[in-house]
Amino acid sequence: MSKRPKPSDGRKGQASIMEYIMLTFFILVVILGLLFFLSWWQFSQLGMEEHKINTEKVFFTARYVSSSPYFVKENSVFDDAKLTAAMNMGKNLCTRMESVFGYNWFIRIKVFDGDVEIPCSWSSYPDCNSWEFCTDTKDDRKSTSRILPVNIYRKISEQNGVGTMEVGIYI
């Protein structure tokens, strides 16, 4: 006579197969979770590195502009006559300065001497208080910028004014 397998032996085999499948499934879930976490970590590190590089570009541009003889009377003191002359160059100034600053940069300088912002040009000089270089008013690109305090020498009154300089780059 042949021995018949006991019914409990089949259940034990089926239970061990289910344990093996559950363990395999759990290990796969852990591995996939780890891969997603590491991918997310890498992308966040790339984003932080890009932000750091953009900030360094902005500060380089600010440092160079505040010491450039085309814009300042002395180191870190802007000359309003030089700013007005440079602003009247328009887009030509931007193309000339691309070799120094790179592409897609902008600068806004404003003197705190009135409530109304009056853009400077030859016709409004010296009764003006703001200068913008390489900005595009209809451009809605994303940008990053920093606003820094500056001194502005007012040539006609021979006095220094206080203002801000916003330096930025388009991303």
Per domain, the residue ranges of the chain are 10-40, 51-170
Question: In the chain, which stretches have pLDDT less than 70?
Answer: 1-10, 137-139
| Per-residue pLDDT at 12 | 73
**Residues forming beta bridges with residue 161, ordered by sequence position:** 152
Output the six-digit token pair for 168. Answer: 């930025």
Could you say which DSSP state residue 137 is in?
A: T
- The DSSP annotation for 68-108 comes to -TTTEEETTEEEHHHHHHHHTTTHHHHHHHHHHH-SSEEEE
| Per-residue pLDDT at 60 | 87
- Neighbour-count burial of 107, counting CB atoms closer than 10 A to its CB (0-12 exposed, 13-18 middle, 19+ buried): buried
